[in-house]
């Protein structure tokens, strides 16, 4: 078990168990501090070593750039000009590469070293200071308490009262210090989870970005390399012809040497966006214009210009400025806006938008702008003042809101994360609930924007007297999220949902089905299931008592809501069965070990042409192959190659990689000049390193994605191979069917014993009990091929049983 939560109520009791909990938290923070110190030291060494490498390569590049070839004669051919410039190009390539490395080092310092050191000094250091303060107050309080208790009862009453008041003040101060220290400890314990890991994530992103930049430079260099190879080849050919002529002349000279003896008034200018209002059906639009403001005359010249349209210049429009006021986001849902009052058109206010906050300040300073007057009295929404009930009116409001959101804003970015204006949200909810205006169709009116409707829906759910998932079932919902397999979690939550009151279950079904639709459009609205779980976890379920331990369960609330969204059709579609769904099959539930075997035996995206046929195997050999796969988890070899190797020895994959990169250079390199060839080979090897690094990046990402994807696997493989209905002859018949499709063979059928969701287009998705036809062994080890509902694809063999 992890660290125990420190309850604030224990600060007043100050028991030995409470002190032990504090010591455990302090020990964990000390361990974290030592870890960050060591990591910071190693990071400094890494940065210094990389800087030394960068300096060496820069010096090498400088040497290349400073050297120039001297040619005989007063003119050079185009090929010779290219060769003359080649060393500068090589030097530029290396300098660009090292500039990217320097940028990587600066980013590592900013994104890894400084955040880690800042966290250690600011937070862990402050925790140590709070610890000393807490120990000092402890000593001070208990010492004064002992003095009070040892005071003679015969002393005068005023003295005793004064001592009591003094100790009572010390006790209150000690307890306040204890509360602050406990809060600080738990805050840092939670903060370190992201303060330590987030810089590491940024570090790897920086490293992979550098490798990707190297890969891009290598691609750019490849075109120049090929052109330079042609220049070198032409120059060499000319050299060979020239050399033969020179030798011939030299021969003639040797034979008869005697025959061969001879500013302005413009204040500011730049781009701003101008709001152009149109007739009601069309609303308004924002047009980018290049503006020139003459300060003395207060004239603003505007030209419409958009680089994306080919640089077409529009007509100039000039207006005389009267005043300029910054526009707040409460009045307009756009940032960096200004309201400009125009003298030429009395009463007209033109709204413009700057490109950034600094740009907004620049224009305000140039135009003599002012801050807006704060005349609106903002009222805070009080959720308790809303009479939200789970009745017909409330359910009607939920349906009305969901209909409007899905019709008007299902693809809005940050749906349910972007909140509406508090006063508008309060007004809408009061209109729909308190005044019971159920006849208002939110989908048909534009009076209420989408973010106001989403915020009102969340406010209604939070304002219910009891959350949808009830206080009574709260702990029962939390338990499955903490323990058990994914299947058992779904099964447990399925049963608990059907224990809810009818109205609660109805509204919960409406909301989660709607959230599933929102998550289905996450590519547009950026609201994934995980994001929706964070938003609606505390909204749909919450504990009746607010304690530190309950706050720690927030992440489990999110998990429960995620399951409700992902498994919406199953949970709300059918009533839960009285017996577990896997009780009808003799196969055991998948274990952690078998899941790892499934991920290891998963076919990779690399086709192995050596796997041409599948030989019949015995049950013993199948079991042995499973064991070999389990023991080869850390191997660098292809999984497909491992499974297809009958002898169990690892295939020689590395040679293929070397041959691939060694053949990437054209054969014309064989007859280039020695100096030029050596430099090009060196640069090519740098490019190859970049390609290897990028390949490593994609491989790592693929492995992470494969490792994070949860798949089921059980001992069904061995039981299927040991089944008396599966014989080597039957497997041989399957192999024959693969090699001779034109011959008529008996079709095999299989039945799904576990549900599966396809991860690639070549795989099939299915539920328990699905029947597959025309089942054959696949070329990919551990997979079958079959037909389901007219579609043929791959089936994991350990998910089915042969009929």
> Is residue 695 in a domain?
no
Number of domains in the chain: 4
Distances, alpha carbon 137 to alpha carbons 9, 15, 130, in Å = 18, 16, 10
Which residue(s) pair with 285 in the sheet? 276
Q: Residue-wise over 325-353: b if at least 16 C-beta within 10 A, else e? A: bbbeeeeeeeebbbbbebeeeeeeebbbb
> Is residue 686 in a domain?
no
Q: pLDDT for 391-402, tens place per residue?
A: 888 888 899 899
Q: Are residues 345 and 231 in the same domain?
A: no
> Is residue 529 in a domain?
yes
Residues of the chain by 3-state class (helix, strand, coil), percent to 5: 60, 10, 30
Q: Residue-wise over 51-74: b if at least 16 C-beta within 10 A, else e? A: eeebeebbeebeebbeeeeeeeee
What's the pLDDT at 767?
Answer: 86
Distances, alpha carbon 628 to alpha carbons 170, 564, 624, in Å = 68, 39, 6
Q: Are residues 766 and 797 in the same domain?
A: yes
Backbone angles phi, psi at 483, to 5 degrees: -135, 170
> Is residue 373 in a domain?
no
Domain boundary among 523, 546, 573: 573
Assign 720 a pLDDT band (cuts: 50, 70, 90).
very low
> Is residue 439 in a domain?
yes
Q: pLDDT for 187-201, tens place per residue?
A: 998 888 888 889 989
Q: pLDDT for 442-488, tens place per residue?
A: 888 888 899 999 999 999 998 898 999 999 999 899 888 887 678 88
Note whether 29 and 195 are within 8 A (CB). no
Note whether 543 and 3 are within 8 A (CB). no
Q: Are residues 27 and 98 in the same domain?
A: yes
Q: Are residues 35 and 68 in the same domain?
A: yes
User: Domain containing 767 — which CATH number?
Assistant: 2.30.30.40
d(CA 295, CA 317) in angstroms, rounded, equals: 16
Q: Are residues 123 and 93 in the same domain?
A: yes
Assign 427 a pLDDT band (cuts: 50, 70, 90).
confident
Burial class (CB in 10 A: 0-12, 13-18, 19+), 396: middle
Where in the sequence is the domain holding 209, given as residue range(s)? 8-138+192-252
Q: Are residues 332 and 404 in the same domain?
A: no
Domain boundary among 204, 221, 252: 252
Note whether 540 and 565 are within 8 A (CB). no
Q: Return the beta strands (E) in 212-311 as ranges.
A: 266-277, 284-294, 299-306
User: Domain containing 413 — which CATH number?
Assistant: 1.10.555.10
Domain boundary among 205, 221, 252: 252
Note whether 101 and 210 are within 8 A (CB). yes
d(CA 627, CA 373) in angstroms, rounded, equals: 76
* DSSP 3-state of 314: strand
* DSSP 3-state of 340: strand
The candidate with the shortest Cα–Cα distance to 723, out of 747, 702, 753, is 753
User: Domain containing 349 — which CATH number?
Assistant: 2.30.29.30
Which residue(s) pair with 772 in the sheet? 750
Q: What is the CA radius of gyration of the chain?
A: 37
What's the pLDDT at 183?
Answer: 92
What's the pLDDT at 240?
Answer: 77
Q: Are residues 397 and 472 in the same domain?
A: yes
Assign 172 a pLDDT band (cuts: 50, 70, 90).
very high
Q: Are residues 53 and 199 in the same domain?
A: yes
> Is residue 464 in a domain?
yes
Question: Any idea what DSSP says for residue 422?
Answer: H
Note whether 673 and 232 are within 8 A (CB). yes
Note whether 326 and 360 are within 8 A (CB). yes
Q: Worst-scoring range by mean pLDDT, 367-376, 531-540, 541-550, 768-777?
A: 367-376
pLDDT higher than threshold 60 for residue 370 = yes
Q: pLDDT for 552-571, tens place per residue?
A: 677 788 889 999 999 999 99
> Is residue 333 in a domain?
yes
User: Domain containing 75 — which CATH number?
Assistant: 1.20.1270.60
Assign 543 a pLDDT band (cuts: 50, 70, 90).
confident
Assign 48 a pLDDT band (cuts: 50, 70, 90).
very high
> Is residue 628 in a domain?
no
Q: Are residues 30 and 93 in the same domain?
A: yes
Q: pLDDT for 78-118, tens place per residue?
A: 777 788 888 888 888 888 888 888 888 888 888 889 999 99
Q: What are the residues whose beta carbons fall under 8 Å from the beta carbon of 93, sequence distance 6 or more?
A: 217, 221, 683
* DSSP 3-state of 255: helix
Q: Are residues 566 and 507 in the same domain?
A: yes
Q: pLDDT for 514-532, tens place per residue?
A: 999 999 999 999 999 888 9
Q: Are residues 496 and 566 in the same domain?
A: yes
Q: Are residues 334 and 479 in the same domain?
A: no
β-sheet with 791-796: strand ranges across: 791-796, 783-788, 771-777, 750-752, 800-802
The candidate with the shortest Cα–Cα distance to 174, out of 137, 146, 147, is 137
Parallel/antiparallel/unpaired status of strands 750-752 and 349-353: unpaired
């Amino acid at each position: 078990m992890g660290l125990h939560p420190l309850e604030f109520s224990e600060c007043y009791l100050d028991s030995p168990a409470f002190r032990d909990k504090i010591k455990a938290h302090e020990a964990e923070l000390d361990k974290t501090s030592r870890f960050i110190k060591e990591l910071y030291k190693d990071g400094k060494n890494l940065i210094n070593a990389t800087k030394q490498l960068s300096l060496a390569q820069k010096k090498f590049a400088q040497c290349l750039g400073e050297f120039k070839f001297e040619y005989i004669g007063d003119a050079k051919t185009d090929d010779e000009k290219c060769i003359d410039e080649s060393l500068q190009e090589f030097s530029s390539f290396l300098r660009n590469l090292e500039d990217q490395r320097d940028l990587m080092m600066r980013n590592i310092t900013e994104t890894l070293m400084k955040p880690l050191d800042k966290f250690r000094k600011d937070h862990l250091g402050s925790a140590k200071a709070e610890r000393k303060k807490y120990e000092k107050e402890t000593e001070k309080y208990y010492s004064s308490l002992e003095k009070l208790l040892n005071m003679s009862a015969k002393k005068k009453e005023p003295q005793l009262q004064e001592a009591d008041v003094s100790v009572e003040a010390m006790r209150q101060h000690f307890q306040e210090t204890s509360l602050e220290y406990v809060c600080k400890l738990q805050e840092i314990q939670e903060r370190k989870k992201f303060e330590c890991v987030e810089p590491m994530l940024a570090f790897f992103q920086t490293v992979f970005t550098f490798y990707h930049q190297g890969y891009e430079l290598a691609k750019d260099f490849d075109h120049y390399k090929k052109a330079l190879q042609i220049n070198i080849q032409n120059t060499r050919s000319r050299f060979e012809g020239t050399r033969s002529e020179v030798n011939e002349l030299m021969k003639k000279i040797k034979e008869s040497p005697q025959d061969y003896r001879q500013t302005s008034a413009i204040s500011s200018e730049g781009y701003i966006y101008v709001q152009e209002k149109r007739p009601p059906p069309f609303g308004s639009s924002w047009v980018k214009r290049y503006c020139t403001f003459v300060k003395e005359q207060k004239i603003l010249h505007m030209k419409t210009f958009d680089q994306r349209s080919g640089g077409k210049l529009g007509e100039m429009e000039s207006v005389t400025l009267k005043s300029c006021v910054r526009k707040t986001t409460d009045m307009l849902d756009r940032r960096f806006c200004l309201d400009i009052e125009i003298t030429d058109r009395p009463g007209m206010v033109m709204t413009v938008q700057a490109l950034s906050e600094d740009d907004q300040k620049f224009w305000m300073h140039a135009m003599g702008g002012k801050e807006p007057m704060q005349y609106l009295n903002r009222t805070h929404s009080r959720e308790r003042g809303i009479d939200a009930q789970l009745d017909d009116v409330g359910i009607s409001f939920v349906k009305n809101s969901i209909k409007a959101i899905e019709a008007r804003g299902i693809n809005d970015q940050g749906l349910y994360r972007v909140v509406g204006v508090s006063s508008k949200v309060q007004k809408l909810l009061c209109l729909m609930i308190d005044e019971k205006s159920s006849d208002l169709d939110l989908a048909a009116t534009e009076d209420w924007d989408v973010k106001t409707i989403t915020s009102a829906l969340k406010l209604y759910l939070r304002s219910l007297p009891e959350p949808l998932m009830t206080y009574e079932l709260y702990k029962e919902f939390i338990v499955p999220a903490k323990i058990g397999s994914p299947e058992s979690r779904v099964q447990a939550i399925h049963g608990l949902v059907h224990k809810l009151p009818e109205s609660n279950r109805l509204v919960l079904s409406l909301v989660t089905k709607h959230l599933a639709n929102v998550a289905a459009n996450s590519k547009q609205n950026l609201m994934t299931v995980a994001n929706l779980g964070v938003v609606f976890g505390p909204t749909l379920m919450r504990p009746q008592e607010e304690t530190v331990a309950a706050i720690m369960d927030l992440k489990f609330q999110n998990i429960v809501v995620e399951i409700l969204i992902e498994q919406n059709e199953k949970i709300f579609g059918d009533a839960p069965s009285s017996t577990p769904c896997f009780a009808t099959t003799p196969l055991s539930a998948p274990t952690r070990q078998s899941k790892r075997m499934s991920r290891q035996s998963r076919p990779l995206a690399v086709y192995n042409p050596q796997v041409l046929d599948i030989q019949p195997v015995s049950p013993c050999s199948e079991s042995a192959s499973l064991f070999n796969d389990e023991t080869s988890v850390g191997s660098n070899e292809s999984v497909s190659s491992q499974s297809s190797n009958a002898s169990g020895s690892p295939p020689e994959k590395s040679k293929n990689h070397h041959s691939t990169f060694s053949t990437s250079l054209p054969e014309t390199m064989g007859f280039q000049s020695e100096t030029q060839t050596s430099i090009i080979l060196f640069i090519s090897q740098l490019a190859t390193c970049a390609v290897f690094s990028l390949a490593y990046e994609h491989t790592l990402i693929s492995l992470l994605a494969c490792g994070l994807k949860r798949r089921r696997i059980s001992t069904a493989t061995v039981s299927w191979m040991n089944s008396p209905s599966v014989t080597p002859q039957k497997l041989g018949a399957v192999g024959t069917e693969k090699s001779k499709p034109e011959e008529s063979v008996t079709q095999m059928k299989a039945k799904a014993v576990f549900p599966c969701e396809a991860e690639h287009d070549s795989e099939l998705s299915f539920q328990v009990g699905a029947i597959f036809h025309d089942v054959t062994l696949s070329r990919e080890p551990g997979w079958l091929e079959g037909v389901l509902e007219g579609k043929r694809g791959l089936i994991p063999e350990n998910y089915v049983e042969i009929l």
